A and B are shown apart, each in its own frame.
Chain A
Amino acid sequence: MKQHICTHINGEATEFLCDAADTLLQVLRDNLRLTGTKEGCGTGDCGACSVMLNDRLVCSCLVLAVEAQHSQIETVEGLANGDSLHPLQQAFLDHAALQCGICTPGLLVAAKALLDHNPSPSESEVRFWIAGNLCRCTGYDKIVRAILAAADNMRTTHDGAQS
């Protein structure tokens, strides 16, 4: 029997029907056509399916869709505000932090979780935080630089707004 789930995705009240065994990743991609969240492994080892679930960074392949009942989910599709990019998205573009782009949505979601939690991460903190997001193209160098630059930029903007 299908279950009826009411949840919030990127701030929008969203309903869907799913089987108890469906993963959140399957529902996001197949039912809701939010295909920005990628499947790279289906076993929690690559991070391409990273989303925020009730303010925690998770692999959506390791979350059951039924667990989304009455929860808050954020995906890559919710990062930009209308047509204005999140500073992390802009930094990834400016620093050429993507090549093929398949890991990019997961990395952006993970990086946002990092900066929400730690606005001034060190290089090492960035590297360990994104260790669960595999990228095979870039060697991570430009990704790490982009995240550090976005953090810098967000702090400056934030400080500027306060002063």
Chain B
Amino acid sequence: MSRSPNGSWRSVGTRPVRPDGIDKVTGRAVFSADFNLPDALQGAVLRSPFAHARILRMDTARALALPGVKAIITASDLPEITEDQALINGQPPDFRDMSANILARTKVLYEGHALAAVAAVDAKTAEQALALIDVEYEVLPHVIDVQQAMAPDAPVLHDSLITQGITPAPSRPSNIASRHEQVHGDVEQGFAQADIILTEEFTTQPVHQGYIEPHACMARVASDGQTDIWCSSQGQFMVRAYCARLLDMPLSRIRVTPLEIGGGFGGKTTVYLEPLAVLLARRSGRPVKIQMSRADVFRATGPASGSYISMKIGALNDGTLVAAQGILCYQAGAFPGSPVRLGCMTAFAPYDIANVKMIGYDVVVNRPKSAAYRAPGAPMASFAAESLIDMLAQRLGMDPLELRIRNAARDGTRTAYGPRFKEIGYLQTLQAAQAHPHYSAPLGQHQGRGVASGFWFNMGGQSSAALTLNEDGTVMVTTANPDIGGSRASMALMAAEVLEIDVDRVRPEIADTSSIAYSDLTGGSRVTFAVGMAVTQAATELVASLQQRAATLWDIPVDQIDWREGCAVASIDGKQEILSLSSLAAQAGKTGGPIAAHVSINAQGAGPGFGTHICDVEVDPDTGRVTVLRYTAIQDVGTAVHPSYVEGQLQGGAVQGIGWALNEAYQYDDNGAQLNPGFLDYRVPVASDLPMIDTVLVEVPNPRHPFGVRGVGEVPIIPPLGAVANAVSRATGTRHVDLPMSPPVVLRAIQRAARRRR
């Protein structure tokens, strides 16, 4: 772990070709739907056409009688999950809900809710069988809007749902699953000091993660019950744990082999198909493959919560923020568990504000159960907060970056959600934004520039890594986390750095659940930080072993041996002796056998991440169409291990945020059925919608990581909502508070503003 004299690392910070690259540009990489077994059956899932209905009767007899149908399962085939089994270590998810989500029990709670699954000799037969399953429904009134769902007379989704976090507990069930309150200082007093108070209401729509690879899996169950699952997910150990709990199986009975994952963004941190495939495979005695269609993906997975947010800030005339208050109502979907608490925590985290009070409501509605999406809960809350900050800057006639600098959280700032920040780089992102040529570039007619910032905690967590030295001196780095965006490359770089060898001598692999110890899933921007820490420690242990082996060969004390440039080095009788990694590997048999290191840790000390984005737009005043002209994403990334993939995280996150801001939204008909379950009308950004996304990597090292790494994947989706909204608001001279800012919405705002001015 030596820094070269010029302060740079030997491998960390370089941009080699990623180890899995060739497979991915030649079509050889095996993604979930690419995996086949010769005698596999095809599965299909029956989904509810109704948003809310009681299941009066379900009869699978006609479907089972169809030639080629080998097995059918319904909720009655899932074990009943008792209350004490509902949570693992008292933490969400709630497995009773998850069980009812993967196969509806007494009620269907959204259009697309799974009811039954079929395995048949081919996909066509399986589809035909679905049509032969007789279901009698009692259609119930439904609710999809969060504010309507909170109304006292709203249709209630769960008869047993009593709001948590209110004392005394309500006596009647409602759709409000929980109330969360976060208090810092005294907001009443804060607002009393304020010279300016701004209040606004904001809405955002649910958006889908939009990974291009639909969910798919294969399961095989041996006659002794030993179960294999092949799938793409954000964590093979997550799939194993969830399947085991849902199907009441010991973990040792299940092996999950991770396949390449075609995007996740948080949406693949749960299971939908895997338990069904296992049950069907168990019943049929044959492997079962199930794949979702794109419509299934839209109707039954994800999305991120939609929200209604009421927010208020108070400031002094010099721009000092003295109070902030918010009420955040997030759609959880059909089961509790929106990330509203995280919204409360992150909204004003970039700022040093003495008095903050946030109240969050987690609200169930007849939509698919929401799932994590990149910085879950933060973008919508940040959109509201950053819009208000921009409104304040306009009111004060102050530069919006200046205003943020005045209030920026710094080292030692106590956050509204509790801890004190240490060694953060928020201010540096603001200064980099000010200094960037983008910020001073001239704007034309109908154009506007918006800035916004964002904060994410970043995570550590349980992580495992195994390093093994091959007989020829090359090194295997085995970890347990699916590689979504280039993490194999960063693991290899960190191992090479410690071993002081070229990165092409390091081969990273991702193991199945039987081949390595547990790791938390890929999420929370934790892999490069936490798994990287495990890899680094394992590499350090490997070096220690190698030094020990050299000591044995040279017969000198180990403390006389250095490790330099991939070699054990010692001065023996005044002469420098060298044993290379290859020769130590070749002689391993003589010195005690194979050389390996396995490290499992619970990594602590993740460094918080901050980003600031600048966005220029042009608005067509006659149609309301918004074009993003220029975009710059600036972020404190700690240390960029592979800068290209760090830039890629910033660019990809920014564009997902742009989509959220401009055109992405679920649309429903009056019956609560989704109108746009496809990429034609669910409008993710396409290449021609965008300019290049410029990036600035600010590197304020995280002192609690050997290479200074911070997570980077989540921050970049937070600022775009505010940055685009602020740009559109400035371009049109009117504030935009509802997302997405689709052409009709923007035009209506322009026309309203024109009428007001008249």
Residues of A at the B interface (CB closer than 8 Å) are 29, 33-43, 45-46, 48, 75-77, 79-80, 85, 89, 92-96, 98-105, 108, 123-124, 126-128, 130-145
Contacts and interface: CB of A to CB of B under 8 A. Distances in A.
A36 B651 contact: no
Interface string B676-691: 0011100011111010
Interface stretch (B23-31, B102-110, B749-757): B23-31
Interface in B19-77: 20-22, 24-31, 33-34, 36
Interface in B391-415: none
A19 B734 CA distance: 57
B128 to A, nearest CB: 13
Interface string B683-711: 01111101011000000000000000000
Given A40-B294, A77-B26, A138 B652 contact: yes
B332 to A, nearest CB: 24
A158 B31 CA distance: 35
Interface stretch (B259-267, B337-345, B450-458): B259-267
Contact of B485 (A36, A38, A108, A137): A137
Given A102-B212, A142-B647, 7 more contacts: A85-B22, A99-B648, A136-B263, A138-B652, A139-B685, A141-B651, A141-B693
Nearest to B716: A139
Contacts of A128: 687-688
Contact of A35 (B30, B294, B642): B30
A53 B613 CA distance: 42
Contact of A99 (B33, B209, B293, B485): B485
5 contacts: A35-B34, A96-B647, A131-B688, A135-B212, A140-B651
B644 interface: yes
Interface of B: 15, 17-18, 20-22, 24-31, 33-34, 36, 209-214, 260-265, 293-294, 484-486, 642, 644-645, 647-648, 651-656, 678-680, 684-688, 690, 692-693
A136 B268 CA distance: 14
Contact of A134 (B24, B651, B684): B684
Contact of B645 (A75, A99, A105): A99
B501 to A, nearest CB: 21
Nearest to A106: B212
A84 B170 CA distance: 69
Given A38-B262, A100-B261, A139 B652 contact: yes
Contacts of B692: 123, 141, 144-145
Contacts of B212: 38, 40, 46, 48, 100, 102-103, 134-136
B27 A35 contact: yes
Contact of A100 (B214, B262, B647, B679): B262
Nearest to A36: B27
Contacts of A38: 31, 33, 212-213, 262
A138 B484 CA distance: 12
A96 B648 contact: yes
Nearest to B679: A45
A75 to B, nearest CB: 7
A43 B29 CA distance: 23
Contact of A85 (B20, B25, B687, B690): B25
Contact of A127 (B20, B33, B687): B687
Contacts of B27: 34-37, 75-77, 105
Given A85-B25, A136-B265, A136-B684, A100 B645 contact: no
A36 B648 contact: no
Contacts of B211: 100, 102, 136
Nearest to B653: A139
A46 B647 CA distance: 24
A140 B687 CA distance: 6
Contacts of A48: 212
Nearest to B486: A99
B686 to A, nearest CB: 4
Contacts of A108: 25
- 5 closest Cβ contacts across the A-B interface? A36-B27, A102-B262, A101-B24, A139-B655, A96-B644
A25 to B, nearest CB: 11
A39 to B, nearest CB: 7
B214 A36 contact: no
A41 B36 contact: no
Among B263, B651, B687, max chain A CB count under 10 A is at B687
A79 B656 CA distance: 30
Among A75, A108, A136, A142, max chain B CB count under 10 A is at A136
Nearest to B297: A41
A143 B685 CA distance: 14
Contacts of B24: 98, 101, 104
Contacts of A143: 687
Contacts of B20: 101
Contacts of B17: 93-94
A126 B687 contact: yes
Contacts of B214: 39-40
B644 A142 contact: yes
A4 B28 CA distance: 27
A143 B652 CA distance: 11
Contacts of B486: 96, 99
Nearest to A145: B692
A118 B311 CA distance: 52
B198 to A, nearest CB: 32
Contacts of A92: 21, 25
A104 B263 CA distance: 12
Contacts of B642: 96
Contacts of A131: 686-688
B293 A93 contact: no
Contacts of B210: 134, 136
Contact of A98 (B15, B25, B36, B647): B25
Contacts of B18: 93, 96
A100 B656 CA distance: 15
Among A46, A101, A127, max chain B CB count under 10 A is at A101
Contacts of B686: 131-132, 134
Contact of B15 (A36, A75, A96, A102): A96
Nearest to B216: A39
A40 B213 contact: yes
B265 A101 contact: no
Given A92-B25, A101-B29, A108-B25, A133 B294 contact: no
A79 B22 CA distance: 12
B149 to A, nearest CB: 29
A127 B690 contact: yes
Contacts of A142: 644, 647-648, 651
Contacts of A104: 24-25
A93 B23 CA distance: 11
B127 to A, nearest CB: 12
A95 B209 CA distance: 24
A163 to B, nearest CB: 30
Contacts of A39: 33, 214
A41 B26 contact: no
Contacts of B679: 40-41, 43, 45-46, 134
B648 A89 contact: no
A124 B688 CA distance: 7
Nearest to A94: B17
A93 B26 contact: no
A34 to B, nearest CB: 8
A17 B468 CA distance: 47
B728 to A, nearest CB: 19
Contact of A80 (B26, B261, B647): B26
A33 B36 contact: yes
Nearest to A126: B687
A151 B566 CA distance: 39
A40 B692 CA distance: 25
Contacts of A99: 263, 484-486, 645, 648, 652
A117 to B, nearest CB: 17
Given A104-B25, A144-B687, A45 B644 contact: no
